[in-house]
Structure 1
């Protein structure tokens, strides 16, 4: 079977650009690669994200890129072809919501800067009221997260693709930094305790 992600992404003008750079033979293959079902690898990667970028297109043809963030795992994998997340109130411009009402096609970029990995996902988006699907609302809800939920987005997978790690500058979250330096903090605490003990013992020999 053809690589569906490239079937979508590679239009005639893209093919012309590839030919101009002499790389079009590279992208003629892809047979046998499935990209229309999430595997355990994608499910695990998605579940560890605390943000992603979502691109939509307006009725006038202008693209719009929006950052979405929340607690780790707020983008839920419902099944191997479905994602969902709660839409929290933001700046109330509703550009993505409006774009997706006119054109349900979108693209997600999920980044893992620390490990220099990124996952691209072509999707169709359904905007749903909170009372439209009780089970889905329960799946995406988080009573411990501050924010007013206005609606739900249900995302139907069309195709996905993994990018190479080139040119991704490693960045780390506050939590990742804390975990990385925890052994150093523990060792420092141990050394400070030993130092205090040695100072106390030295005082016993002071004249």
Structure 2
């Protein structure tokens, strides 16, 4: 049988994880994760829609656009986009969230899992009001976090300038959407 359908089948293919790989998952932010998050200009947000399908969305800003409120709480402003509101709708339906923090040039990433909620408190909004006050803030109560090894980024040579691709083979996003929607 080629399809893996049980945990037992899966586990027979792999060695046990190193004890450090298991114990590195912690339940709150510590000094290194806080420093990393404060210097990260880019995150990937993983949410789940009302039908149970996973969704991933990028968010970016100046380093520190995600604020560390305390060792168990992060917050970031919703920035203007295409108004589909996929991630925000998903948070309302299923508040479990995953965040992957990245810093250009650094191979390690910080992973966070938690429970997200949407807020309009004036005090919270004011933390993000430079230059314009956002419509809402996403708050994340942290359940687990850990540093992830740089292997995938190293293999992809993601931060290597000689590995950057000339976009000439791909049309603009507008052209792609027009082609896909026959408009």
State whether structure 2 residue 56 is matched by structure 1 residue 65: yes
Once residues 106 and 31 of structure 1 are traced to their aligned partners in structure 2, the CA distance between those partners, rounded to angstroms, is: 20
Aligned-pair Cα RMSD in Å: 2.5
State whether structure 2 residue 124 is matched by structure 1 residue 139: no
TM-score, reference length from structure 1: 0.66
Once residues 150 and 37 of structure 1 are traced to their aligned partners in structure 2, the CA distance between those partners, rounded to angstroms, is: 28
**Counterparts in 2 of 1:32 and 1:51: CA distance versus 1, 3 Å:** closer
Once residues 133 and 129 of structure 2 are traced to their aligned partners in structure 1, the CA distance between those partners, rounded to angstroms, is: 11
The secondary structure found in structure 2 opposite 1:67 is strand
Structure 2 unmatched ranges of 5 or more: 162-183
1:20 aligns with 12
The secondary structure found in structure 2 opposite 1:26 is coil
Structure with the bigger percentage of helix: 1
1:166 aligns with 151
**Counterparts in 2 of 1:65 and 1:150: CA distance versus 1, 3 Å:** same
Which has the larger Rg? 1
The secondary structure found in structure 1 opposite 2:130 is coil
Compute the displacement of 1:136 (Å).
Answer: 1.7
1:152 aligns with 137
Aligned length, in residue pairs: 154
2:110 pairs with 116, 119, 124, which one? 119
The secondary structure found in structure 1 opposite 2:34 is helix
Q: Are 1:55 and 1:107, in contact at CA under 8 Å, matched by a contact in 2?
A: yes
Structure 1 unmatched ranges of 5 or more: 1-12, 174-207
Once residues 88 and 142 of structure 1 are traced to their aligned partners in structure 2, the CA distance between those partners, rounded to angstroms, is: 12
TM-score, reference length from structure 2: 0.74
